[in-house]
Amino acid sequence: MALVIGIDPGKKGGIVALDLNTGFPVEWLAADDPSGGYVAGKHYLDRVMAVFLEDRQDVALCVLERAGARPMEGRTSCFTNGMGFGLWRGMIAALNLPSIRPTPASWQRQIFGTRPAGADRKARAIETAMMRCPDLDLVLKRRRKPHDGLADAACLALFGIAQLGKGAA
């Protein structure tokens, strides 16, 4: 089985591994999952992040969302988001895994199509992930709402599957 791994690198992000052939979720982890995510408080748990990726000979592609500063975002927030991106990028490189780093706009255009962008981007990611990956549990323990970081990660993995289908990876 070959895997495509989607990674939303934010502190409220997630990582989802989909089977390349079926598109079914194989494994996933929310950054802020209270039962064992890869972020605790203000700190990334780099060992937990590495364990998800290491010893995987079956990775066809890692799709890491490119981090960038956003308007009206504070310096600390930009630094923290960039730190998560850098940790994931370094681990992917150290493990010699094939990867791409699309911008949010590029993967959203591919996955969401021509529907207009806007404040409902997270809702569209949740809707898409629930529809195309119904076995992916987006509602974490003791929560009522779906986790948008996991939804983004699933959509990134779906983007990766589409890129491999085009031969663009």
* DSSP notation for 99-155: EE---HHHHHHHHHTTSPPSTTHHHHHHHHHHHH-TTS--S-TT--S--HHHHHHHH
- Its domain, for residue 12, covers 3-166
The DSSP symbol for 80 reads: H
Instruction: Assign residue 161 the CATH number of its domain.
Output: 3.30.420.10
Q: Give pLDDT, residue 57.
A: 79
**What's the pTM?**
0.89
Domain total in the chain: 1
Per-residue pLDDT of the chain (169 residues; tens, 9 = 90+): 899 999 999 889 999 999 999 999 999 999 999 888 999 888 899 999 999 998 787 999 999 999 765 566 555 554 556 788 999 999 999 999 999 999 998 999 999 886 655 558 889 999 999 999 999 999 988 788 999 999 999 999 999 999 998 644 3
